[in-house]
Structure 1
Amino acid sequence: MRIALLGYGKMGKSIETIAVNRHHSISLKVSSHTSEFDFSDTDVAIDFSVPTTAVTNIKRALDAGVPVISGTTGWLDQYDTMVDYCKEQNGTFLYASNFSLGVNLFFELNKKLSDLMSGFPEYKPEIEETHHIQKLDSPSGTAITLADQIIDVSAYNSWSLEMGNPNGLYINSIRTDNVPGTHEITYNSDIDSISIKHTAHSRQGFAMGAIIAAEWIKDKKGVFSMKDVLNIG
């Protein structure tokens, strides 16, 4: 499979290493300095860029008839627009806030726990997420996905980075050195606390998940998620 890397930072380089080890080739490497995109020798595009270029990257791939998967976060206010654009182009698009198998299982665990805890309002949920200082968005896309799952079955109508907002589910977003990604959900009451936690040890899980998604999506049409790839949920 010939893969275009739309974004060639740390994640792009990790994806390249795994792709080559799985006998794929890299047809295109796009960085912030790339002005011309040639998808003529590409089977699938993988976007791990930055919020300001993600939409352009996705559109260019769809315009070229190339399936595209994106793990870039911080641009989701335009997600529905990209879904509509993909359908108009009869294209193929998959977005995930996190491609890790463990995180996608964690999403399912969070949904089940939030459903259970929704009947016990004395327990107040909050989320803490920690990432490396190079991460551009805050909170993380993964934290937002986790928050949305809780909000769907709770009295909250949004998430908030400020503690004490009565209508906002609190997300404590921490940036520090050399942390690939840690997410913890805690339900606190006056009597006790219940928590679940996912800790990534490296970027390899994210990169491997992106390659698996690319292998799965090749030759398909439509809009998909990691649930489709992993057949979970």
Structure 2
Amino acid sequence: MNIGLFGYGKMGRMIEQIALERGHTIVAKVDVNTTDVNYNGMDVAIDFSTPDSAFHNITSCFEHGVPIISGTTGWLSDYDKAVSFCNEKNGAFIYASNFSLGVNVFFELNSYLAKIMSGLNQYGVTMEEIHHTQKLDAPSGTAITLAEDIIENTDYVAWNSEKENERTIPITSKREGTVPGTHTISYESKVDDIEIKHTAHNREGFALGAVIAAEWIKGKSGVFSMKDVLNLR
């Protein structure tokens, strides 16, 4: 499979390494200084770029009939426009705040636990996420997804960096060293605590999931998620 990489930082290089190990070919490496992109011969594109360039990268792939998956966060105010344009162009698109296979299992566990806890008002929920010091957005896209899944399955109405009221999920964001990503969700009461946690040991899991998603989406059209890739629906 011929893959175009949009964004060639640490994640882009890790994706390249794993893609090559799985027998694929990298036909384009698009970064901030790239002025001309050759879409010919791209079977699929993988976008781990920047919030400022993600929407352009994604819609350009739709224009050229190239399926694209994106793990870039911070651009989601334009997500609905991207979905609409994808459908208009009969394109193929997956966005995920986190492509790690383990994290996507964690998403499912979080949703299931939230449903169980929804009727137990004696517990209050809090969240903590820890990432490396070079991560610019806070809270992380993964933490936001986790919070939104809790809101969908309970009577919590919002998340925030502070506990505004009883129906707000407080998210604590920490930036430490080279931590790839740790997310902890705690339900606390006067008598006990319940906690689930995902700890990434390196970026390889994120990159592997992105390549697997790219392999899955080739030849398809529509807007999908990692639930489709992992058959979790």
Match of 2:156 in 1: 156
Task: Write the mapping of 1:44-59 to structure 2, written as runs, cut at 5 A.
Answer: 44-59=44-59
Cross-structure match for 1:18? 18
Letter in 1 for 2:155: A
Q: Quick check: 2:100–2:209 contact (8 Å CA) kept in 1?
A: yes
TM-score, length-scaled by structure 1:
0.97
When the two structures are aligned, how many residues end up with a matched partner?
A: 233
C-alpha displacement at 1:164, in angstroms?
4.0
One-letter code aligned to 2:82 = M
Aligned to 1:83: 83
CA distance in 1, matches of 2:153, 2:41: 46
SS in 2 for 1:3: strand
Deviations 1:122-179 (A, max 9, x none): 1000110111111121111110110001111222221101234444211111111110
Cα offset, 1:101, TM superposition: 0.8
Q: Distance in 2 between matches of 1:138 and 1:53?
A: 19
Using structure 2 for the length normalisation, give the TM-score.
0.97
Task: For 2:179, give the aligned amino acid.
Answer: V
Contiguous gaps of at least 5 residues in structure 1: none
Query: Using the alignment, how far apart are the partners of 1:154 and 1:220 within structure 2?
Result: 34
What percent of counterpart residues are identical?
A: 58
- CA root-mean-square deviation: 1.0
Shift of 1:210: 0.5
Instruction: Tell me whether 1:205 sits opposite 2:205 in the alignment.
Output: yes
What does the per-residue CA deviation read over 1:70-95, in whole Å, with 9 as the maximum and x for residues that have no partner? 00111112111111110011101001
The code of the aligned residue for 2:62 comes to: L
- Between the aligned partners of 1:9 and 1:208, the Cα distance in structure 2 is 16
2:136 maps to which residue? 136
Structure 2 contact 47–68 (Cα < 8 Å) conserved: yes
Q: Deviations 1:20-74 (Å, cap 9, x if unpaired)?
A: 1111111110111111111112110000011111101101111110000000111
Distance in 2 (alpha carbons) for counterparts of 1:40 and 1:225: 26
| C-alpha separation in 2, matches of 1:163 and 1:121 | 16
**Equivalent position of 1:126 in the other structure:** 126
Kindly indicate whether the alpha-carbon contact (under 8 Å) linking 2:111 and 2:153 is maintained by their aligned counterparts in 1: no
Rounded to whole Å, the distance in 1 between the matches of 2:207 and 2:92 is 20
Residue 197 of structure 2 aligns to a residue whose secondary structure is strand
Q: Mapping of 1:65-76 within 5 angstroms? A: 65-76=65-76
Task: State how far apart, in whole Å, the 1-side matches of 2:25 and 2:92 are.
Answer: 20
Q: Which moved more, 1:162-171 or 1:137-146?
A: 162-171
Of residues 121-130 and 73-82 in structure 1, the stretch that sits farther from structure 2 once superposed is 73-82
Give the aligned residue type for 2:153.
V
Return the letter of the residue paired with 1:102. G
In structure 2, C-alpha distance between the alignment counterparts of 1:135 and 1:104, rounded to whole Å = 20
Match for residue 224 of structure 2?
224
Which residue is equivalent to 1:43? 43
The SS at the match of 1:169 is: strand
Cross-structure match for 1:176: 176
- Equivalent position SS for 1:197: strand
Determine the C-alpha separation between the residues in 2 that align with 1:216 and 1:108: 20
Alignment partners' CA distance in 1, 2:174 and 2:52: 22
2:71–2:95 contact (8 Å) kept in structure 1: yes
